[in-house]
Structure formats: structure tokens, C-alpha cells
Amino acid sequence: MFFSSRLLLLTLLYAFLITPAWAEEFEDTIKMFSDAGISELFDSAYGYALFPTIGKAGFVVRGALGKGRINVQKKYIGDVLMGQATVGFQVDAADFSQVIFLEDQSALQKFTNGDFEFGA
């Protein structure tokens, strides 16, 4: 049990360390998503959470960590942290960008209250 906890902690730390500086990446990330054909969603959504880089790494235990920002009606309202941990046979390391569009005030409240969970 102690070994698993230490391995999980080290994996999360590694995922955090491979995540590059994120403050200057927001505009580039929005442009990347807009170039992919979803620019109208940034305009029509009530708000969105944008993660320029989420780093993940694992060896048996995998962790992922990403820092992002929440924008509502085109105004920055705060920071958000995304984390994940899984156990099973796996060996990998990667990073990716993610945006979560929020449809309305209710979705924003669920997201900011921590009542929001998803997986794929």
C-alpha cells in the first residue's frame, strides 16, 4: 500500500513537471482550437475552462495534471486544476490540450462547485 501511494505521488509529480509554463499559452491554445473549426463555440458558450497543457505519465499507476482558466462571457473568473489517477497495466507519457464548454450558469456552478466529473 505504501509503495502504491509513493508511486502515485511520484507519477503525479512527474506529470506536473512535464507540464510547461501555461500562462502564455492561452491565446495560442484558443487559436489552435479555433483553427480546428470550433471558434463559434468560444463565442456561443456561456463559458469555458481551457487547459493549454495537461501532462500525463504512468508506469502501472498513471497520473495526469493540468492547470487551466475559466472564462465566462469572455472574462477571466479564476483558475482550475484537473487531475486523474488510474491503476492497471500502462506505460506512457504525453501531453494534450483540452477545452470544456459550459452551456449555462447551472453548468458553471456544477463545474466550479466540484460536482463535475467525466471520463473517456
**Domain assignment of residue 119, yes or no:** no
Cα-based angle 32, 114, 45 (whole degrees, multiple of 5):
40
Domain annotation covers residue 120: no
pLDDT given at position 19: 45
Mean pLDDT for the stretch of residues 92-111: 89
| Summary count for the chain: helices (H), strands (E) | 4, 2
Residue 48 is part of which domain span? 2-108
DSSP of 39-64, one letter per residue?
A: HHHHHHSSEEEEEEEEEEEEEEEEEE
In this model, does residue 20 exceed pLDDT 60? no
More confident residue, 12 or 110: 110
How many domains are contained in the chain? 1
Is 82 a domain residue? yes
Rounded CA gap, 65 and 96, in Å?
Answer: 11
pLDDT, residue 64, reads 84
User: Per the domain annotation, does 113 fall within a domain?
Assistant: no
- 67 burial (CB, 10 Å; 0-12 / 13-18 / 19+) is middle
pTM of the model: 0.71
Report the pLDDT averaged over residues 73-101.
86
**Region 2-11: what's the mean pLDDT?**
57
In a domain, 27, yes or no: yes
Provide the 3-class DSSP secondary structure of residue 1: coil
Q: Tell me whether residue 117 is in a domain.
A: no
Confidence of residue 10 (pLDDT cuts 50, 70, 90): low
What was the pLDDT predicted at 45? 93
Q: Per-residue pLDDT tens for 39-58?
A: 889 889 999 999 998 888 88
